[in-house]
Structure 1
C-alpha cells in the first residue's frame, strides 16, 4: 500500500535558530518509541529560495515520517582541491536524510520519471517517491512480500517503474494505477542496473553474474527476449546512444563492451574498452553521437573518452575518486562527474563539472566529510540530478542553466581523422 506524508513548512527553522529541546513526557515517550524502531524514512525541508530544498538551515525530520522526532542540521563545506583549478561551487538545492540505504557502489537505487517528474529512492526493501504533482513523500512498502532489499530501480519513459530485488525478483509498478502489475523471477542472480530502450517497453538489465537481459515489459508480464553472455563478473552500468543502436555495458571485470543492437534479436559485439577497475559510469554525448564517456572504480579513478565507431581512446583525465556516474550537458560542451570514494588525503569533492574537450574543472560540490555517491539520476531536461550517498543522504543539484547555450565547433576526438569520420556520418552543422 502506498502512503503519502505532507510536509509542514511552518515548522522549519531559520539557520540561526537552535531547535527547541524536547522536555515534555509525551515527547520523551515518543522519542523512546522511535529509538526502539527501525525506521526507513526520509527527512525533507523545502526552500522558498529555490522552490526545492537546500541545506543552509536545520532540517525538519521525522522517523517514521508521521512522527516528529528532532531537527537535524547540516551545512556543506567547500574545501578546495588544490590540484584542480575550479571557478565556483555547485550548490545543493535538495537534501533528504534517508535511513536504510544500502551502501553498495554496484546498485542503482535512484531514478527520475520523465513522464511525471517524480523521483524515487530505494531504502532497503521499500520505495519512497517525491516531486511532480505531489507535495509530500509517498511510500511503497515491499518488505511485506519478502523479496529482499531493492538492488535496482528504473523509470521507463512511459508509466512503468522497474523494481529489482536481491532475491532475484523483477517487479513492474504502474505509476498511474499505483500498484504492482507484474512480477517475474530470474533464478540465480539479481539485477544491478537497467536501461530502457527509448520510448519502448524493452529494457536492458544487467545482473551480478555478468549477464545482460533484454526484457519486454508490459502491465501483464515480463518476457526475456535476449541474453548477452560476454562479461565474467557483475554488470555495473548500461548506456544507450541517442539513436538507440549502440549499447555500452560496464562490468566489474574492468571492461566496457560496445554492442550493435540495430537488430535486437541478434546483438553484435563491436569493441571492448579496458579500464583498471569496475566500469559503472557510462554516458553517450548528446551533441557528438560517436563519443562515449566511461568512468572507472576505486583502482582506476579515471574518466576516459572513446570514439565508439572505431573503439579509439581519444582523451582521459585521472581523478582521485571512483566515478559513480557521468552526465553530459545538452546545451554546453561540459559534463558532470558524480564521485565515489576518494584516495586517502584527497579533497571532499562529491561532484565536479568539467569542460570538454579542455577537461578543466569549472565547478564542484563538496562535503564536510568523506562521502561517496552510490547512485544518481538525471532530471528529464538533463540540467539537474539527485544522488544517494554513503551516509544515506539524497542530495539534489542544479548542474546547468538551460538558458545558457554555448555549443561551438570543437575537436571532440583529438584527431583530424576521427573528426572527419564523424562529419562523414552527417552530424548536424547547427550543433558542431
Structure 2
C-alpha cells in the first residue's frame, strides 16, 4: 500500500494544473492581505489598531511623506486610473451651455439681451469673450484692430491678396523681337554706324549709304549715297528733336540732312581725317576724327566752327554730351577719357583744357554713357586689352566702381526704366549684357549675334534697344517695357516738360 501512495504523490507533483503548496504567495494575495487590515482599522472603530501600528513600523515600508515638510498627497488610485476634480453645479451648467451653443449658427432674431447673457457666461468661465479671443477664423471678415491701435508690421492674415504677394516678376525674352539685315556693314570697332531718333527712325550706315527704317510703319528709305564708291560712312547721329541727321564720312566731312524732306542742307569740313564719332548738344554738333581733334559746329551759323578741342593723341572713337549739356565726354584709341566743358567755355584755338582726364583704362575707349538720373555720373568701357566698365564721378574725379567683363566693350547704354546698364561686347562673347546699376549684378545675357557687337542704341521711350554687329544684322530687343501703371505716370511727367525745337529757316 505504501508503494501505491508513493506513486500517487509522484503523479500529483508532475501535474501542472495542481497548485504548488510550497510556492511563494502571489502578488494579488499579498496586496489583499496588506490592504485588509488597513481597511478594517479605518472602518471598524471597535477593533484595536495594533495591526496597523505594526505595519507602519515595518522597516521595508517607504514613508509617504518627507519628514519636516507639509506635502500634499496624491489622491488615491484605488477607485480608478483618473483624477476627477470636484465641480459645483454652476460650473457644470456653464460648461454644458458652452458645449451645446458655442458652434451653433447665430440666430438672426436673437435678442440683444440673450447675446449679452452669452457674453457674460463666457467672461465668467474663461475670463474673456471667446469670440473676441479667437485668432483664426474659417470664414467671414478679418478681425478689426481695437480703436487707436497702431501696428507697424504687415498684416498676418487677409481675405484678399496683399501687395507683397501680388508682386509681378519681369520677363525678359532671350530672343530678339526683330532682326534686320544690314549687308555691306563695315566691321570696324572705331566707327559709330547706328542711331535712333526721337521720331522713332533708325539710321544705319552701310558702307557708302545711309538707310532709314521707320520703326512705327516699317518703311525703309535710302537717305544718301556717297558719290565716290571708295569712300564710306563712318558715323551717324540724330539731333535731339529728330528732324536732322549728321553724317560723318571718311573724306573728313560732316553732312547735315533734313530727314523729313530727305534733303541735304549743308556740308561742313575742317577735319584732316575721317569723322568716326558725332554727338549733338541742342543746335551744336560735335565731331571727333582720327586726327584726335574735336570740333563744335553751330549749324545755324554761316561759318559753323565755333570751338575746337585737342587732347587725344589718337582717333576719337567715342563722344557723348551729358543730359544737361554741361559736359562733353570723349574716348580715344589712346586709352584716355576726357571730360570737356560746355560749348560756351570752348575756344576755337584748341587750347581749352579738359576738366577731367582718366587714364585708368588699358584699351581703346569707345563705349561712353551718361547716367540719366545722375548728371555727374559717367560710365566708360575699354577694348580688348582692358575689358572693364568703369563708373566715374566727374565732380570729384574719382572712380566709383570697376567691373571686369572678360570681353571687349564696344558700347554702353543706360536703361532708366529699371535703373540698369546695358553693355555690347565683342571678342570673346559677342553678346549684349544687362547689368543692375549700381550693384552690377548680371540681369540677363542676350545672345544671338555671330560676330562682335559694334553699337547699341535705345528707342525713344527706352523700352527697347537695337544692336548692330559684324554679322551684318541689326537686332531689336524689347527688354525694358514698363507696366501700364508706371507708363501712364511717366507719360504724365513727360507731357509737363518742354523742349526747344530747331527751326528749318535758322539753318542756312
Same fold (TM over 0.5): yes
Mapped to 1, the partners of 2:385 and 2:240 lie a distance apart of 35
For residue 227 of structure 2, give the secondary structure of its aligned residue in structure 1.
helix
For residue 263 of structure 1, give the secondary structure of its aligned residue in structure 2.
helix
Q: Go from structure 1 to structure 2 and tell me whether the alpha carbon gap of 1:331 and 1:377 turns closer, same or farther (over 3 Å shift).
A: closer
Alignment match, 2:364: 278
Say which of 317, 328, 331 aligns to 2:414. 328
Deviation of the 1:89 alpha carbon: 5.1
Say which of 107, 118, 121 aligns to 2:204. 121
Mapped to 1, the partners of 2:265 and 2:449 lie a distance apart of 43
For residue 212 of structure 1, give the secondary structure of its aligned residue in structure 2.
strand
Contact persistence 2:464–2:481 (CA under 8 A) = no
Deviation of the 1:135 alpha carbon: 3.4
Alignment match, 1:387: 467
Alignment match, 2:288: 206
Alignment match, 1:402: 482
**How many pairs are equivalent?**
310
Could you tell me the TM-score, scaled by structure 1's length? 0.68
Alignment match, 1:337: 423
Contact persistence 1:168–1:186 (CA under 8 A) = yes
Alignment match, 2:332: 251
Deviation of the 1:113 alpha carbon: 1.2
Mapped to 2, the partners of 1:354 and 1:283 lie a distance apart of 14
Q: Go from structure 1 to structure 2 and tell me whether the alpha carbon gap of 1:166 and 1:230 turns closer, same or farther (over 3 Å shift).
A: same
- Is 1:170 equivalent to 2:254 in the alignment? yes
For residue 309 of structure 1, give the secondary structure of its aligned residue in structure 2.
coil
In the TM superposition, what are the counterparts of 1:171-320 in structure 2 within 5 Å? 171-197=255-281, 200-218=282-300, 223-261=304-342, 263-266=344-347, 267-274=352-359, 275-320=361-406
Alignment match, 1:416: none
Contact persistence 1:147–1:165 (CA under 8 A) = no
Mapped to 2, the partners of 1:368 and 1:183 lie a distance apart of 35
Mapped to 1, the partners of 2:337 and 2:308 lie a distance apart of 17
In the TM superposition, what are the counterparts of 1:56-135 in structure 2 within 5 Å? 90-114=174-198, 116-132=199-215, 134-135=217-218
Mapped to 2, the partners of 1:333 and 1:98 lie a distance apart of 30
Alignment match, 2:444: 363
1:134-169 alpha-carbon deviations (Å, 9 max, x no partner): 432111341335581000111102311011111112
Q: Go from structure 1 to structure 2 and tell me whether the alpha carbon gap of 1:393 and 1:170 turns closer, same or farther (over 3 Å shift).
A: same
Deviation of the 1:350 alpha carbon: 0.8
Q: Where do 5+ consecutive residues of structure 2 fail to align?
A: 1-170, 487-508
Alignment match, 1:149: 232
Mapped to 1, the partners of 2:401 and 2:287 lie a distance apart of 29
Deviation of the 1:90 alpha carbon: 3.8
Alignment match, 1:375: 455
Alignment match, 2:499: none
Q: Where do 5+ consecutive residues of structure 1 fail to align?
A: 1-86, 343-347, 407-432
Could you tell me the TM-score, scaled by structure 2's length? 0.58
Q: Which has the higher contact order (CA 8 A, sep 6+)?
A: 1
Alignment match, 2:15: none
Deviation of the 1:184 alpha carbon: 2.7
Alignment match, 1:345: none
Deviation of the 1:256 alpha carbon: 0.1
Q: Greater helix share, 1 or 2?
A: 2
Deviation of the 1:305 alpha carbon: 0.8
Mapped to 2, the partners of 1:269 and 1:246 lie a distance apart of 10
Q: Go from structure 1 to structure 2 and tell me whether the alpha carbon gap of 1:279 and 1:289 turns closer, same or farther (over 3 Å shift).
A: same
Mapped to 1, the partners of 2:376 and 2:269 lie a distance apart of 36
Mapped to 2, the partners of 1:400 and 1:268 lie a distance apart of 38
